[in-house]
């Protein structure tokens, strides 16, 4: 079982699941396999998976970040603070029906890149697109959005 639409997730390099769970202040922890943990995360809570090569992944249907999404003005500070504790943190989110998807990267307390596309526009849009984003035509603003 994988995850994708209708979820948000974090990818954290070179950290253990315990370190990620601690940084997220998760309580009532139990060890679960990938299918069970992923299924539960779609229902309620956060699943922090055993690392895949080089990365620990945490995902949830509604709780990353807690009580708000990437369009909220609190999002940049939340991710930057998380990266102070974990080093690098990458955030992803998608909501197929609502036309919402987001990506952000923070390192050592600094949010270097973030964007969130919704049916209502782009907010936030922080930092310059990476070379990979430009090559894939992702994470860039159209001339309509920039007023150009």
Q: What is the pLDDT of residues 32-42, one digit of tens each?
A: 998 899 888 98
Question: What is the average pLDDT value for the chain, to the nearest integer?
Answer: 86
Write down the domain spans for the chain: 7-146
Residue with more model confidence, 134 or 99: 134
Which tens digit of pLDDT belongs to each residue from 74-129? 999 999 999 999 999 999 998 876 678 889 999 999 999 998 888 777 777 888 88
Query: pTM for this structure?
Result: 0.85
Structure tokens at 17: 């699941």
Query: Parallel, antiparallel, or unpaired: how do β-strands 100-107 and 110-118 relate?
Result: antiparallel
30: left (phi over 0), alpha (psi -120 to 50) or beta: beta
pLDDT score of 145: 47
Q: Is the pLDDT of residue 51 over 90?
A: no
Q: How far apart (Å, rounded) are the C-alpha atoms in residues 61 and 15?
A: 22
């Amino acid at each position: 079982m994988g995850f994708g639409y209708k979820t948000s997730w974090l990818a954290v390099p070179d950290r253990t699941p315990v370190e990620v769970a601690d940084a997220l202040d998760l309580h009532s922890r139990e060890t679960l396999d990938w299918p069970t943990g992923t299924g539960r995360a779609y229902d309620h809570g956060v699943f922090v998976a055993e690392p895949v090569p080089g990365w620990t992944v945490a995902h949830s249907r509604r709780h990353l970040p807690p009580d708000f999404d990437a369009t909220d003005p609190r999002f940049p500070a939340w991710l930057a603070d998380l990266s102070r504790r974990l080093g690098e943190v990458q955030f992803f989110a998608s909501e197929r029906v609502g036309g919402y998807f987001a990506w952000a990267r923070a390192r050592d307390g600094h949010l270097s890149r973030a964007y969130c596309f919704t049916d209502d526009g782009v907010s936030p849009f922080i930092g310059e697109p990476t070379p990979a984003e430009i090559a894939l035509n992702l994470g860039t603003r159209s001339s309509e959005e920039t007023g150009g």
